[in-house]
Structure 1
């Protein structure tokens, strides 16, 4: 069954560490067949207000999602 990793990024200060993280994250997804479904804006809330960027990553299974999240590559 498909599983998703979901994050709401409220505030990001772009610096060298964040830039390095963003450049390397894609390769950590590959061994677990993860792919971005939603990655930030543009978006338009239909109800209420929203103050963050939404990230949704799809995995083929919960085992893949948990494997990615606990992997050495992602942890680094």
Structure 2
């Protein structure tokens, strides 16, 4: 069943680290079956805490989403995201 990785950036704390993350994260997708669906487009928060932006990635399965997230390439990039921002990140299965 299709799965989605959803990232909401709640606060940037170090723009330099985020610049590094932005420059390396794309390469972390190599060899993984991911489809970007949303990438920091226009948005409106209707409920809950404010966010700075969101990313939604689609994967064929939850296992493939986890394999990408846990991959050495993504984890090397993610350390810059962790150092430069506060995010909420989760996986969710789609409907059949």
TM-score under structure 2 length normalisation: 0.66
User: Structure 1, unaligned stretches of length 5 or more?
Assistant: none
Runs of 4+ in 1 over 3 A off after TM superposition: 47-50
User: Structure 2, unaligned stretches of length 5 or more?
Assistant: 77-96
Residue 60 of structure 1 corresponds to which residue in structure 2? 60
What is the CA–CA distance in structure 1 between the aligned matches of 2:48 and 2:3, rounded to whole Å?
27
**Aligned residues between the structures:** 74
Matched, 1:14 2:15: yes
- Which one scores higher on RCO, CA 8 angstroms, separation ≥ 6? 2
Alignment of 1:1-76 (within 5 A): 1-12=1-12, 13-15=14-16, 17-45=17-45, 47-48=46-47, 51-52=50-51, 53-76=53-76
TM-score under structure 1 length normalisation: 0.81
- What are the Cα deviations for residues 2-29 of structure 1, in whole angstroms up to 9, with x where unaligned? 11111110111311x2211111111111
